[in-house]
Structure 1
């Protein structure tokens, strides 16, 4: 991996900073890291990548919330099974829209929501910050790389 030391330094510094922020403000740390991972996995660069991260992760939150709360309409687990199948299909189909084209991002948001039992108030802040964390890591890495390539004066 090219520039692995700069990547490691920026990722380590910003991961530590994120942990401190999450602890201070009582945010769920791992949600931010999953959103950060979405940023690095999706295909867009720069702030467009942040937007794709947010749109796909948040769509997954919506779909899981719909399945969780919709399954309470009837007193049978069959409705939950059916809604899970429907939202899974919807997350795949929504990829027809360019801003929602990263299917794994939707599944990450969905899984986070299931893991957090639909607590969107606890999910959304670290999810949004995590996308920015990934973007910040790329920007800090670029800064560190520029230090490495700056010509030295004798």
Structure 2
């Protein structure tokens, strides 16, 4: 991977900013990082990648809500098990739709929802912001790459001239 230093610096800087923002606004930090990870794992670039991340993660949130809500109407956990199987199949089948082709994104959103007990107020804001965090990391990395492509050769040239 070229430009590893720029990737590392932009990711580290924006991860620190996200951690501070999440703490200040009482957002679940790890949810944002999972959405950010979804952004980097899905196949689209730019804002199309943000949309793919949102659609797939949020579809998983919906499917988990179906399982949680549907299972709560019955006294037996068997209904929850059955719904989990049905929903798992549906998360795979929904990949037939262009915006939902990244199946792991749906599973990530689903797992987040189960982990937080369906608390939408804790799930949705960091999930949405996390996709933007991934996008911001790519933009900042691009800026850093462009900057270093201009400045590093100029610095090397000055050093060579100074040595002569």
Aligned CA-pair RMSD: 1.0
Residue 133 in structure 1 maps to residue 133 in structure 2: yes
Per-residue deviation at 1:110?
0.2
Distance (Å, rounded) in 2 between the aligned partners of 1:16 and 1:96: 37
* Structure 2 runs not aligned, ≥5 long: 159-164
Report what 2:162 is aligned to. Answer: none
Q: Distance in 2 between matches of 1:98 and 1:119?
A: 28
Shift of 1:132: 0.1
What TM-score do the two structures reach when normalised by structure 1?
Answer: 0.98
Equivalent residues, number? 154
Q: Deviations over 1:46-105 (max 9, x none)?
A: 000000000000000000011011101110000000000011001000000000000000
Question: Is the partner of 1:123 in helix, strand or coil?
Answer: helix
Mark the structure with the bigger radius of gyration: 2
**For the residues of structure 2 that align with 1:33 and 1:50, how far apart are their CA atoms?**
14
Q: Using the alignment, how far apart are the partners of 1:19 and 1:133 within structure 2?
A: 11
Calculate the TM-score normalised by the size of structure 2: 0.92
Consecutive unaligned residues in structure 1, runs of 5 or more? none
2 CA distance for matches of 1:87 and 1:112?
15
- Dislocated runs of 4+, deviation >4 Å: none
Distance 2:109 2:95 in 1: 14
Q: CA deviation at 1:111?
A: 0.3
Q: What is residue 146 of structure 2 aligned with on the other side?
A: 146
Q: Does 1:50 align with 2:50?
A: yes
